[in-house]
């Protein structure tokens, strides 16, 4: 990670959960972390079909475009864009609560690989990665099941899920790979997660 010391990392969603864990970890390695976050209360999952694609697909695309533009303007050839995906971006689990979320994460899988190809086509060495965790204990569950607290309670009690820091460690791993190594995806779950 030595080569990242003193460089700038923009972390979205940095106020809580996985974003906060990543920001903390990058600071520990000497990066200058710029965090940004919306007020999470504003996202009502009850209106998921309308809001989730805006956040998970459109906002992610806009951030990616801006980050890439910024790197180009500053002649940064060794940047790294890391998308937070999910195991739900790779397979469909039989849980109707999660199907729309799953659709947005399938989109993230495609966007990340599309980005990787575009970066190759543009002859840059900027890397594109997605990290695809399974269940992580964060504020996500209570938020997803805000109308049905019994589901929220059940979510993290069936087995020991991943922790936010585990995802942050995956971010550190892909960042610390030598410049010629592009890790495109790290798929990770709790060792006790069934599906």
Does 81 interact with a copy of itself (rule: CB under 8 A)? no
What's the gap between Cα 93 and its chain centre?
A: 19
Phi, psi angle pair for 35, to nearest 5°: -100, 150
Binding-site string for a copy of itself from residue 116 to residue 145, where x marks contact by CB under 8 A and - marks none: -xx-xx---x-x------------------
Here the contacts of 51-59 (C-beta below 8 Å, separation 24 or greater) are 52/100, 52/101, 52/104, 53/104, 53/107, 55/104, 56/101, 56/104, 56/105, 56/107, 56/108, 57/104, 57/107, 57/108, 57/111, 59/12
Q: What are phi and psi of 190, to 5 degrees?
A: -60, 145
The single residue listed with the structure tokens 């940064």 is: 76
Q: Does position 194 bind a copy of itself by CB under 8 A? A: yes
Lookup result for tokens 């840059």: 124
User: How far is the C-alpha of 145 from the C-alpha of 125, rounded, in Å?
Assistant: 41
Residue 38 as a binder of a copy of itself (CB under 8 A): the answer is: no
In the complex, what is the shortest distance from the CB of residue 13 to a copy of itself, in angstroms, rounded to a whole number?
Answer: 19
CB of 166 to a copy of itself, least distance (A): 5
Q: How many residues bind a copy of itself (CB under 8 A)?
A: 59
In the complex with a copy of itself, the residue whose CB is nearer, 8 or 183, is 183
Q: Does 101 qualify as catalytic in the annotation?
A: yes
Instruction: Indicate which single residue of 110, 139, 148, 149 sits in contact with a copy of itself (rule: CB under 8 A).
Output: 110
Among 81, 108, 171, 175, binds a copy of itself (CB under 8 A): 108
Residues near a copy of itself (CB under 8 A) are 49-50, 53-54, 57-58, 61-62, 65, 91-92, 94, 96, 99-100, 102-111, 113-115, 117-118, 120-121, 125, 127, 160, 162, 166, 169-170, 173, 177-195
């Amino acid at each position: 990670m030595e080569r990242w010391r003193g460089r700038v990392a923009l972390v979205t969603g940095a106020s809580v959960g996985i974003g906060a864990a990543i920001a903390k970890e990058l600071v520990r390695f000497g990066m200058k972390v710029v965090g940004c976050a919306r007020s999470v209360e504003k996202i009502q999952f009850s209106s998921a079909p309308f809001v989730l694609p805006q956040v998970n697909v459109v906002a992610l695309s806009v951030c990616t475009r801006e980050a890439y533009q910024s790197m180009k303007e500053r002649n940064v050839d060794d940047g790294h864009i890391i998308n937070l995906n999910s195991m739900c971006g790779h397979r469909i689990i039989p849980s109707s609560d999660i199907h729309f979320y799953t659709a947005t994460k399938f989109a993230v899988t495609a966007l990340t690989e599309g980005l990787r190809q575009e970066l190759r086509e543009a002859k840059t060495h900027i890397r594109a990665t997605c990290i695809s965790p399974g269940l992580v204990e964060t504020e996500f569950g209570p938020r997803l099941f805000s109308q049905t607290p019994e589901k929220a309670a059940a979510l993290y009690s069936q087995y020991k899920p991943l922790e936010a820091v585990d995802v942050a460690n995956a971010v550190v791993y892909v960042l610390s790979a030598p410049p010629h190594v592009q890790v495109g995806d790290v798929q990770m779950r709790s060792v006790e997660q069934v599906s």
